[in-house]
């Protein structure tokens, strides 16, 4: 197994462990919910065993979190000047384009257009 994949598995497992412990849930509880042994579940948290898609969904459901939080997927960064330019093209004044709420709106719109 390549090092990059191993590292990502370890990081995912660590994120799950931290979230699980913050919610005072035992590894045994989640393993039982998944229908696997505690040892098999701990191998996921230790980054030794990768998760199946339904396991990711089940773990997230049990912990009450979104799967992207576990997978640590981040939206692409959009340069501020591009956001300001788009805000001005949409009719906002130069002063308004610096408003954090307008900035957030335009950034969400640009991010959504990347997902189409």
**Distance between CA atoms of 95 and 61, rounded to whole angstroms?**
43
- In this structure, the answer to whether residues 87 and 52 fall within a common structural domain is no
Tens-place pLDDT, residues 70-90:
887 655 566 777 777 777 777
Residue bearing the bigger pLDDT, 94 or 8: 8
> What confidence score (pLDDT) does residue 116 get?
43
* Inter-CA distances, 94 with 49, 78, 97, Å: 52, 18, 5
Q: Which residue in 67, 66, 73 sits closest to 114, CA to CA?
A: 73
- In this structure, the answer to whether residues 25 and 63 fall within a common structural domain is yes
pLDDT reading at 51 higher than 80: yes
| Contact of 56 with 70, CB cutoff 8 Å | yes
Domain that holds residue 103: 80-113
**Distance between CA atoms of 32 and 41, rounded to whole angstroms?**
9
pLDDT reading at 38 higher than 70: yes
Residues contacting 16, CB < 8 A, separation 6+:
44, 45, 59, 63, 70
> What confidence score (pLDDT) does residue 77 get?
63
Number of structural domains (the chain) is 2
| Contact of 16 with 45, CB cutoff 8 Å | yes
Residue owning tokens 């773990």: 59
pTM exceeds 0.85 for this model: no
pLDDT reading at 59 higher than 70: yes
Average model confidence (pLDDT) for the chain?
82
Share in percent of the chain as helix, strand, coil (round to 5): 70, 0, 30
- In this structure, the answer to whether residues 1 and 41 fall within a common structural domain is yes
- In this structure, the answer to whether residues 54 and 92 fall within a common structural domain is no
- In this structure, the answer to whether residues 45 and 102 fall within a common structural domain is no
């Amino acid at each position: 197994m390549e090092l990059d994949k191993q590292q990502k598995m370890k990081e995912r497992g660590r994120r799950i462990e931290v979230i699980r412990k913050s919610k005072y849930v035992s590894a045994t509880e989640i393993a039982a919910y998944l229908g696997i042994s505690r040892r098999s579940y701990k191998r996921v948290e230790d980054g030794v065993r990768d998760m199946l898609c339904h396991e990711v969904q089940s773990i997230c459901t049990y912990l009450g979190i979104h799967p992207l939080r576990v997978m640590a997927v981040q939206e692409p960064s959009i340069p501020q000047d591009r956001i300001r330019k788009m805000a001005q093209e949409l009719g906002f004044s130069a002063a308004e384009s610096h408003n954090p709420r307008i900035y957030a709106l335009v950034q969400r719109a640009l991010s959504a257009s990347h997902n189409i």
